Amino acid sequence: MEPQEKTPSALAVQLGETPGIGMSLKQVRDLLATTHNTVVPQDDAILMIATLLNAHLGEVQTLHTRHKEGLALLMAEKTTAYITGVNSAVDQLSTSLSSASIKGIREVFDDHAAKLTAFRQAVIWAAAIVSVSALLNVTVFVLRGL
């Protein structure tokens, strides 16, 4: 067994020391030896399962990376669309509130101006009545005094 340990098999040479994801063939053989007390030679067919599982893990990682990138793009697009929609709604709301506020203020000022005009006219009429009344009182006192 010792000479086999030192010489790597064709599969081990092809995969290299670490296959990139998962366990290397040496790690699989060591795990089987410690867990099940079974020594597996370097060219045993059971190691094909580790190779297939490592390849599967690599494909899953590639798929996860693609999905992560796609999700990031989707979220960026949706977030941009959401922010654009919110900005548009805020602009419309501020425009309508501004025009409503200006319209409301104009109505209040116009109503106030109309009331001031009516008050001014009432004061003028009251002053005219007081003046006529004062003249009439003076005339009456002057005519009685004669």
Q: With bands split at pLDDT 50, 70 and 90, how would you rate the model's confidence at 119?
A: very high
Would you say how long the chain is, in residues? Answer: 146
Residue 124: the pLDDT is: 94
121 or 54: which carries more pLDDT confidence?
A: 121
pLDDT above 90 as % of the chain:
18
**If we measure between CA atoms, which residue out of 86, 12, 66 comes closest to residue 42?**
12
In eight-state DSSP terms, residue 21 is S
Residue 23 has pLDDT above 90, yes or no: no
Q: 33 or 3, which is more confident? A: 33
pLDDT at 20: 58
According to the model, what pLDDT value does residue 84 have?
A: 85
User: What pLDDT shows up at residue 55?
Assistant: 82
Is residue 42 within 8 A of residue 48, CB to CB? The reply is: no
Model pTM score:
0.43
Higher pLDDT, 96 or 47: 47
pLDDT tens for 66-99 read 999 999 888 888 888 888 888 888 888 777 777 7
List the chain domain ranges.
2-104
What tokens were used for 36? 């099940």
